[in-house]
Structure 1
Amino acid sequence: MDEFLAWYFTNHPILASYLGADGYDHTLGDFTAAGLTAVEREERRWIARLSELDTPDPGDAIDRDLVLSQLRGSAAAAEWPAWRRDPSFYLSLVFVSLNTPFQQRLKPEPELVAGAVSRLAEVPGVLAACRTNLDPAIAAPLLVQRGLGQARTGRAFLTSTLPAQVEDPGLRAELAAAAEPAAAAFDELVAFLDGFACGGTWRMGEKLYTTLLRERELLGYGAAELHAKGEREWALLDTRMREVARRVNGTGDWRAAMDSLMDDHPPTLEAMRAEYEAETERARAFTRERDLVTFPEGEECKVLPSAEYTRPILSVAHYLAPPPLSSSRTGIFFVPYTPDTFTEEQVRQRLRTNSRAQMPSIAVHEAYPGHHWHLSHIAGNPRTARKVFRTPYFTEGWALYVEKMLHEQGYFDTPATELAHLDCRIFRAARIVVDTALHCDDMTIEQAETFMATKASLSPGTAQGEVNRYCAWPTQAPSYLTGAIEIDRIRESWDGSLKDFHDRLAGSGGLPLGLAEQAV
């Protein structure tokens, strides 16, 4: 396993650095077609080698099967390669590689700047590879436009946002000077994407979708079964929400009730961030008072505005975990700010979908005892593979599971917050229905946006951003409710305290659910 991880980090230096591994923060890696296809070949060799290993120790067997699930998923996805279809494959990695080290602050500032300068020198080559590798026959116009929105943030991010994170004036000037050639490369990519004609599809298709569910996620069912599960869960939640809505507005119309609740929202984006910060502290205190989990020593969750380069492509709250291969236990809960180009009405709609009734559920999900607690807890696992590889079907499933668990504990203690909690859950059921229908059937983008705006309490603008994400990231959206249901099932057979169950299950990593059950 150590040999495999050394190979893996060498060929994925951005991820290695992101996880806190030392010695990888000076390079972006090889993004040429030859380099990317060479990695695909080596992954297939590792599948063959690891499959032959005899691992009598149960923990070692789980590590092996975890890595194999990731490699088999990667091998399946190679039939539909993102690096030939989607410019965000390159852009997201470039932005993360440059921004994350300054957010994590694992090293002194001179070392951070030296690493950034070295990586900036490679940005023109990576973006040139993007232009060369994109295949007009399989690249989808929707994905290209999505990437174009990201690329347009490049110059401002590199020449303004990134240097502003450096305190020393001399180092700041050095970084700004190194950023200019990279910014020019972004300008060139913007012009290229703006005129790039392509005719591919963003639809994955049921065959590959099902293969990923079975091979990578180790679920015992495929896309059709998952779609039916989403429809059943939506219907059950709809019935329950009608009952709760009567305590909110006197009728069974939960959409109208949620619409009225969404009118009570913070007045500005910064006020939204401040209120999320207060709610995060409340969730932490409640989790500690109820003794629901063991808190890692030194953990801290910062609540910050989302990064500029994520605003065109992410319309919801998200989280940056502590780098698990380091000693840090500091994570960041990113509040979903809007792009600077948004109108006043678009900003208002974003605030409405982060109303005061919804904030408790979102803070629990992103911070305590959701993502932040879980991922800072994982960092204490002695098995390196468990820190490197995780699936959203566990991590997102965990965060949705704890929303329900805290509801059972009395955290959502008003009809308004209870209804909003259920709305967060029915939103995830709608995601299952829409994601599978988009990629495995013939649901149109317009139908998907209407579904998300009417079957969950999303504004039209947020629904549009959500569906755009599903088109670009198939199989991820169903992970939340699917994982939460599986964790509930595992909990039913647990014979011990709730705290011990949480510590043990979450501490096992972010495993595919079948492996997580073995670990428990």
Structure 2
Amino acid sequence: MDEFLKWYFSDRPVLASLLGAEGYDHTLGDFTAAGWAAREREEARWAERLQALPTASLDDEIDRDLVLSQLRGSIAIASSWPEWRRDPAVYLSPVFGAMYTPFQRRLQPEPELVAAAIARLAEVPGVLAACRANLDPGLAAPLLVQRGLGQARTGRNFLTRTIPGMVGDEGLRAKLAEAAEPAARAFDELVTFLEGFTCGGTWRMGEKLYSTLLRERELLGYGAAELHEKGKAAWAELDARMREVAVRVSGGEDWRAAMESLMDDHPPTLADMRAEYEAETLRARAFVAERDLVTFADGEECQVLPSAEYTRPVLAVAHYLSPPPLAGSRTGVFFVPYTPDDFTEEQVRQRLRTNSRAQMPSIAVHEAYPGHHWHLSYMAGNPRTVRKVFRTPYFSEGWALYVEKLLHEQGYFDTPATELAHLDCRIFRAARIVVDTALHCEDMSVEEAETFMATKASLSPGTAQGEVSRYCAWPTQAPSYLTGAIEIDRIRQSFQGSLKEFHDRIAGSGGLPLGLAEKAALAVSRAGGTTGG
């Protein structure tokens, strides 16, 4: 594992530094076609080598199978869905993350952060040149190119103003801004290129690869068609429950109308939204501590901040930045979904409506306590390094939705309004399963998907549009929430021990594919031994 991780980090220096590994923060890595080809050869070699590797313990077996699941997924994508030839985000996201996250976390002195940023800025023109060279007009999809164009247009301001604005020392700030100018010009060139780039590829992954990823990367025992049916069944069950709760909210069974009414009670401004989310986050933490549902990591802290400027064109919902698991920090960030600067007053109002006061408790639980922040700050203490490096959204997002239901069971959503909003968050994830599988298996158009999300969940048309764009660009991720929550709930039924023991054990074991998470949790439950965590 040590040898594998050494190769993995050297090949992906941005990811390595974001995880907290030392020595990788001065480079962005190789994004040329030759670099991608070499990476694919090495992944195949490592998969073959690890498959033949004997294991001495259950922990070793889980570690090996975790890495194999990631490699098999990557190999399957490379062979039939090469993202580096299809999507500008493959090049843009590492640049943005590498520049922003170190200044957000501030784990090194400011002069060191600036020196690393300047070194990486020098490589930005090369990365963006690789983007222009590698995008294939026959494979790249117009929808993905337009998403990338929206991000690229934020590049100049991000590099020359946003990042220098995070530097306190005036001299260092000026030095960084000067170094950013060539990289900003490279972004200008990429914008011009993408504006004129004509392509005819599809964003639809197809049923074969989609099902392969579910079975071999996520270690689920079923493929896209069965997952689609699970989503439809979950939606129908939740719809019936919500009709009952809606009567207590508005006197009628129309839960969409009831949610529309509740969404009118929202913070008046984006800044007020952030402040109210912060208060709700503190309330959720106190509730979880009082009920003794989990063990908190020493020194953990969850900051509640506006979303980063570069994410605003592509992320319309709250999201979370975890502590770097290979470093000592346990401070994470709950990002509140601010709108791009060019949004109209009505677009801002619609964003505020989809973060109403009835919805805030569920979202704070999901993003912070005992959702993402608790999980990722706690699992950072796992002694198995590979568990900190690889995690799947089918566990991490599944965990965050599972704990929403857990806190409902514990009485946290204590009004009809917050209970309905809790169920609405869940039915939204059921709708995601239906839509994502249908979109990528060619059973639904983008327009049909947007209508589905706007009518089968309480999303505004603008938010539904942003959501569907995300599904097109990120196949298999959207179903992870409810799929994982259902699987974790199922595993809990077989666990012999207290709720707190179960939560500490399964979440502390990492963000494992569900088949491995079950093995880690229930081997302990039945044998009384230890594994990871």
Match of 2:4 in 1: 4
Map 1:348-497; keep pairs closer than 5 Å. Answer: 348-497=349-498
In 1, distance between residues paired with 2:331 and 2:253?
Answer: 43
In 1, distance between residues paired with 2:243 and 2:394?
Answer: 28
Match of 1:51 in 2: 51
Q: How far did residue 442 of structure 1 move? A: 2.8
Map 1:250-329; keep pairs closer than 5 Å. Answer: 250-329=251-330
In 2, distance between residues paired with 1:182 and 1:35?
Answer: 21
Q: Say whether 1:518 aligns with 2:501.
A: no
In 2, distance between residues paired with 1:128 and 1:56?
Answer: 46
Q: How far did residue 281 of structure 1 move? A: 0.3
Q: How far did residue 82 of structure 1 move? A: 1.0
* 3-state secondary structure, aligned to 1:509: coil
Q: How far did residue 46 of structure 1 move? A: 0.2
In 1, distance between residues paired with 2:7 and 2:342?
Answer: 42
Match of 1:160 in 2: 161
Map 1:135-150; keep pairs closer than 5 Å. Answer: 135-150=136-151
Match of 2:62 in 1: 62
Q: Deviations over 1:286-305 (max 9, x none)?
A: 00000000010000000000
In 1, distance between residues paired with 2:84 and 2:318?
Answer: 26
Q: Deviations over 1:55-107 (max 9, x none)?
A: 03100000000000000000001020111000011101100011000111111
TM-score between the two structures when normalised by the length of structure 2 = 0.97
Match of 2:112 in 1: 111
- Taking only the aligned residue pairs, the percentage that are identical comes to 81
TM-score between the two structures when normalised by the length of structure 1 = 1.00
Q: How far did residue 250 of structure 1 move? A: 0.3
* 3-state secondary structure, aligned to 1:474: coil
In 2, distance between residues paired with 1:270 and 1:112?
Answer: 28
Match of 2:31 in 1: 31
Match of 1:177 in 2: 178
In 2, distance between residues paired with 1:215 and 1:75?
Answer: 11
Q: How far did residue 511 of structure 1 move? A: 0.1
- Give the residue type in structure 2 aligned to 1:37: A
Q: How far did residue 441 of structure 1 move? A: 2.5
Q: Deviations over 1:435-459 (max 9, x none)?
A: 0000012300000000000000000
* 3-state secondary structure, aligned to 1:126: helix
In 1, distance between residues paired with 2:467 and 2:311?
Answer: 13
* 3-state secondary structure, aligned to 1:334: strand
* 3-state secondary structure, aligned to 1:443: coil
Match of 1:340 in 2: 341
In 1, distance between residues paired with 2:401 and 2:349?
Answer: 26
Q: Deviations over 1:230-276 (max 9, x none)?
A: 00000000000000000000000000000000000000000000000
- Give the residue type in structure 2 aligned to 1:65: D
Q: How far did residue 41 of structure 1 move? A: 0.6
In 2, distance between residues paired with 1:96 and 1:414?
Answer: 39
Match of 1:509 in 2: 510
In 1, distance between residues paired with 2:85 and 2:40?
Answer: 14
Q: How far did residue 198 of structure 1 move? A: 0.2
Q: How far did residue 187 of structure 1 move? A: 0.3
| Structure 2 segments unaligned to the other structure (5+ residues) | 522-533
In 2, distance between residues paired with 1:426 and 1:382?
Answer: 36
In 1, distance between residues paired with 2:87 and 2:135?
Answer: 7
- Give the residue type in structure 1 aligned to 2:463: T
* 3-state secondary structure, aligned to 2:334: strand
- Give the residue type in structure 2 aligned to 1:505: I
In 1, distance between residues paired with 2:40 and 2:356?
Answer: 44
- Give the residue type in structure 1 aligned to 2:393: P
Match of 1:240 in 2: 241
In 1, distance between residues paired with 2:82 and 2:309?
Answer: 27
In 1, distance between residues paired with 2:488 and 2:73?
Answer: 22
| Structure 1 segments unaligned to the other structure (5+ residues) | none
* 3-state secondary structure, aligned to 2:333: strand
In 2, distance between residues paired with 1:417 and 1:154?
Answer: 39
In 2, distance between residues paired with 1:452 and 1:125?
Answer: 39
In 2, distance between residues paired with 1:509 and 1:306?
Answer: 26
In 2, distance between residues paired with 1:330 and 1:156?
Answer: 27
* 3-state secondary structure, aligned to 2:163: helix
Q: How far did residue 495 of structure 1 move? A: 1.2
Q: Deviations over 1:193-222 (max 9, x none)?
A: 000000000000000000000010000000
In 2, distance between residues paired with 1:149 and 1:383?
Answer: 39
- Give the residue type in structure 1 aligned to 2:359: Q
Match of 1:211 in 2: 212
Q: Over the residues paired in the alignment, what is the CA RMSD in angstroms?
A: 0.4
Between the two proteins, the alignment pairs up a number of residues equal to 520
Q: How far did residue 392 of structure 1 move? A: 0.1
- Give the residue type in structure 1 aligned to 2:512: L
In 2, distance between residues paired with 1:51 and 1:499?
Answer: 35
In 2, distance between residues paired with 1:90 and 1:465?
Answer: 21
- Give the residue type in structure 2 aligned to 1:251: G
* Structure 1 stretches of 4+ moved >3 Å: none
* 3-state secondary structure, aligned to 1:107: coil
In 2, distance between residues paired with 1:166 and 1:309?
Answer: 18
Q: How far did residue 37 of structure 1 move? A: 1.1
